[in-house]
Chain A
């Protein structure tokens, strides 16, 4: 599997480590009213889709950047690769 890194170009997936669902970026507010329930959901409950999935990959043997990779779990086709910092910025986080 080849991941087309936004900065470095196509790199072999063996250079990366996989973390999981990209929704891990959206950490709940620890001071919120429903913080306990929100963190339970955040930490333990995941979808396991057969198909397109947005997931976090770490370029460990490269530039050490976190990526959000949109991957089809059935075919391993990758349709989009973004820097996780850019994704967070678009959401108004991590200025």
Chain B
């Protein structure tokens, strides 16, 4: 049987510009969870059981091997390291049943990790997220280079993770490099 392994969105090495390092992070499994009408309580019960807590508005919660963040009213995104089995969405669907709609999202997004002391200055050129006020675990959706992206604060003032549309990976990467070069 053919070995089907997803390729990275774009082929680019990690780049350090000034104090900022931009890395494409491959192998992130994603699944969206949206509570069905009237099923919020049932959905939150499962989220709480699996993650230890329900992610509040604009926040991420770390579970065991999984991270989940709030994306909108009664909606969340779950992420986990891709183990090659592509089962994250199926596992969540099995756990949630009819309480929520779960959609595989791994192929829809590209993930960039931006680290370094110059990250806040660079982020301020890219989007309107108040990056200097963000605490570890804060998440905001915003526009970067005309694309809708999630900005996740992984370490306040030092490290953000950007989830952007995979089909625009090259454009988004170009925007990140340009901004990093401008503040270097």
Contacts and interface: CB of A to CB of B under 8 A. Distances in A.
Interface of A: 7-8, 12, 14-15, 60-65, 83, 85, 94-95
A37 to B, nearest CB: 31
A70 to B, nearest CB: 20
A83 B57 CA distance: 14
A65 B75 CA distance: 11
Contact of B73 (A12, A15, A65): A65
Contacts of B91: none
Contact of B38 (A12, A62, A85, A95): A95
Interface string B125-158: 0001000000000001111000010000000000
Interface string B10-30: 000000000000000000000
A15 B72 contact: no
Interface of B: 37-38, 57-58, 71-73, 128, 140-143, 148
Given A7-B57, A8-B58, A15-B143, A63 B71 contact: yes
A15 to B, nearest CB: 7
B73 A61 contact: no
A95 B38 CA distance: 7
A61 B58 contact: no
A61 B128 CA distance: 10
B141 A61 contact: yes
B148 A83 contact: no
Given A15-B143, A64-B71, A94-B37, 11 more contacts: A7-B73, A8-B140, A60-B148, A61-B143, A62-B142, A63-B71, A63-B72, A63-B73, A64-B72, A85-B73, A95-B38
